[in-house]
Amino acid sequence: MAAQINPSILSADFARLADEAKAVEGADWLHVDVMDNHFVPNLTLGVPVVESLARATDTPLDCHLMIEAPDRWAPQYVEAGASSVTFHVEAAAAPVRLAREIRAKGARASMALKPATPIEPYEDLLPELDMLLIMTVEPGFGGQAFLDIMLPKIRRTRELISKHGLELWLQVDGGVSAATIERCADAGADVFVAGSAVYGASDPAEAVRVLRNQAEGATAKASWACDH
Ligand code: DX5
Ligand code: ZN
């Protein structure tokens, strides 16, 4: 699969979301960070804003729910128009049931791991998912420094995906930029969230193109992608 770049609107101007979505129309997905001030110490937006944004753009929405009780709320984001919904495993009461419900409602189901959450206990759950998100910062804020110590986890997750022959996308989120995206791609990521690196650039669409080229160049040289 070609590298996908998902700009995070957390770093966009929230008063001009429709325009900010248009500014990155060449992107694969728009990453929408939902924070409830409980699971993370920050508050962003909810179902009504996702509904409006889905009407305002043709770019599919990748909703990253940093909220408590995702079992209760995640299905509503599918109904609001999200094409992919990510819940945090640390917050989910029944991740398998929730992933099945998201898929049954017609969206891609994705599960996120905070930096201190290991992948190994979830190996058997991977076939239930369309994407796994490895956080490369502590969730809650844009503009934080990339955590290099997550690279081994990305590598081990890619090995599990290969071992089981899964079509699972591997997303990284947090501190992804021109300075770090190649290391992520080399370790095995194929979906890249970038907030400040895209919306902090003078030309966000160009920033997406540059990141995509870098990711594809690094993937082409990566050992994990050799047999694809
Ligand atoms: C952080 C969010 C990220 C955030 C990334 O908790 O999940 O999606 O927007 O921002 P950058 O790319 O600036 O680290
Ligand atoms: Zn995010």
33 flagged as catalytic: yes
Task: From the CA of 195, give the closest atom in ligand 1.
Answer: 12
Element spanning 199, H or E:
helix 196-199
Pocket flag, ligand 1, residue 67 (CB < 6 Å) = no
pLDDT for the residue numbered 203: 98
**148 an active-site residue?**
no
The answer to whether the CB of 188 is under 6 A from ligand 1 is: no
Whole-number pLDDT of residue 1:
72
Q: What is the pLDDT along the chain (228 residues), one digit of tens a residue?
A: 789 999 999 999 999 999 999 999 899 999 999 999 999 999 999 999 999 999 999 999 999 999 999 999 999 999 999 999 999 999 999 999 999 999 999 999 999 999 999 999 999 999 999 999 999 999 999 999 999 999 999 999 999 999 999 999 999 999 999 999 999 999 999 999 999 999 999 999 999 999 999 999 999 999 999 755
Tell me the best of 6, 8, 66 to mutate to test the pocket of ligand 1, counting ligand atoms within 8 Å of each CB and taking the most: 8
CA atoms within 13 A on the CB side of 91: 24
- Plot region of 181 (φ>0 → left; ψ -120 to 50 → alpha; else → beta): alpha
Residue found under tokens 């917050």: 91
pLDDT at 72: 98
**What is the structure's pLDDT at 227?**
59
Count Cβ neighbours within 10 Å for each residue of 83-107 and write b for 16 or more, e otherwise.
bbbbbbbebbeebeebbebbbebeb
Tell me phi and psi for residue 52, to 5 degrees: -65, -40
| 97 C-alpha to ligand 2 centroid (Å) | 22
Q: Please name which ligand lies nearest the alpha carbon of 141.
A: 1
DSSP string, 130-159: SEEEEESS-TT-SSPPP-GGGHHHHHHHHH
Task: Give the span between the Cα atoms of 57 and 33, in whole angstroms.
Answer: 16
Residue 174 half-sphere exposure toward CB, CA atoms < 13 A:
22
Choosing from 28, 33, 36, 62, the catalytic residue is 33
Q: Which domains does the chain have, with CATH numbers?
A: 4-226 (3.20.20.70)
